[in-house]
Amino acid sequence: MLKDTMSGFELYQPTDVDNALALVDRFGKNGWLLAGGYDSLDWFKNRGKTPVAIIDLAGVEELRGVREVGEILEIGALTTLTEIERHPLINERFSLLAEAASKVASPQIRNAATLGGNLCQDTRCWYYRYGLNCYRAEGNTCYASGPEALNREHALFGASRCVAVTPSDTGPVLVVLDAEMVVRNSKGEHIIKAEDFFMDPAVDLTRMTVLEPGDLLTAIRIPNTWAKQSFYFEKVRDRNSWDFALVSIAAAFVVEGGVVDDLRVTCGGVQCVPRRLRKVEDFVRGLPKNERTGELAAEISVSGAQVLNKNHFKVSLMKNLVKRAIRDG
């Protein structure tokens, strides 16, 4: 199979959301929404996906930019990761998000890749990406969980047939910040909480988000709840550029007199969705923010982990990240 060229498609470049949605409806399953293009073009070049019509959103200005709407910071889904990394308001209030954006892939990719794309991108399981007929590709097996499988990057938690993990760095951050996703389709607009935005594989294996065909993620709204609190973000990966997280952690703390009043902790790279560590949050709330609390929380954080053949290391990695987040965040 020719693996270097995209198959032919029609390209549409709408300049507003209504036209984009009309095109989405017109082409249905044969259409494909294109944002930054880094995930999409890989699929097209590998002929993993061969849509008939590409709806290029790059010209839709209303999907770009960061706006203040009352107490809420609204970020257009097409805002690039570089813009997020440098934006003064985001750096002032939610430096966590700017930091996560700055750790995505490489500078050139961040210049084109968008926040919406980072949230909606498909998983990186290479068995799936290679085009194998696995569960996620509507087949009937998982190649990544077999005894000989190379599954160093795969899930510790919540696997349901498929053991792939969320590749997004900004996803865990938005869960921590209680963000809301603004979704539009031809029927209107609705809001989905960040925590509910990612698809549980037990519900539907074939997509990463709860977006239905015909839906368009238009913006991400971040309430002021966690603005300017103390944050912690760390992404561990095999190399410092280009790479997806082996495990990442995003955390926010409200600290009063050395005691944790409230907190949010979420891990990426350990489950198909950003994993919010509720048990850790419940345990740490009300305790002094120090190394000892971190150590105890670390033990709690990995309870229930189901390791695969090659990913045991993620257990200790995750524990260390939880400890560091609580001690240093």
Residue ranges that bind another protein, judged by CB under 8 A: 1-2, 4-13, 23, 34, 37-38, 41-42, 44-45, 53-54, 56, 58, 82, 105-109, 111-112, 240-242
Q: Please state the closest distance from residue 121 (CB atom) to another protein, in A.
A: 13
The nearer residue to another protein, 112 or 315, going by C-beta atoms, is 112
Q: Which residues have C-beta within 8 Å of that of residue 275, sequence separation ≥ 6?
A: 157, 158, 172, 266, 267, 268
Q: CB of 125: closest distance to another protein in angstroms?
A: 17
Residue number with CB closer to another protein (37 or 329)? 37
Between 9 and 196, name the residue whose CB sits nearer to another protein. 9
Contact in structure between 248 and 168 (CB atoms under 8 Å): no
| Minimum gap (Å) between residue 58 Cβ and another protein | 5
d(CA 67, CA 75): 6
Radius of gyration of the chain (CA): 20
Is-contact 322 314, C-beta < 8 A? no
CB of 233 to another protein, least distance (A): 16
Instruction: Give 129 or 327: the residue with its C-beta nearer to another protein.
Output: 129
Cα(295)–Cα(213) distance, rounded to whole angstroms? 44
CB 173 to another protein: min, Å: 20
Main-chain dihedrals φ then ψ at residue 53, nearest 5 degrees: -130, 130
Q: Which is nearer to another protein, 93 or 124 (CB)?
A: 124
Distance CA 85, CA 173 (A): 13
3-class SS at 267?
strand
CA distances from 266 to 117, 206, 302 (A): 20, 23, 12
- 23 or 97: CB nearest another protein: 23
Q: Give least dist CB 164 to another protein, A.
A: 19
Q: Which two tokens stand for residue 120?
A: 């909606």
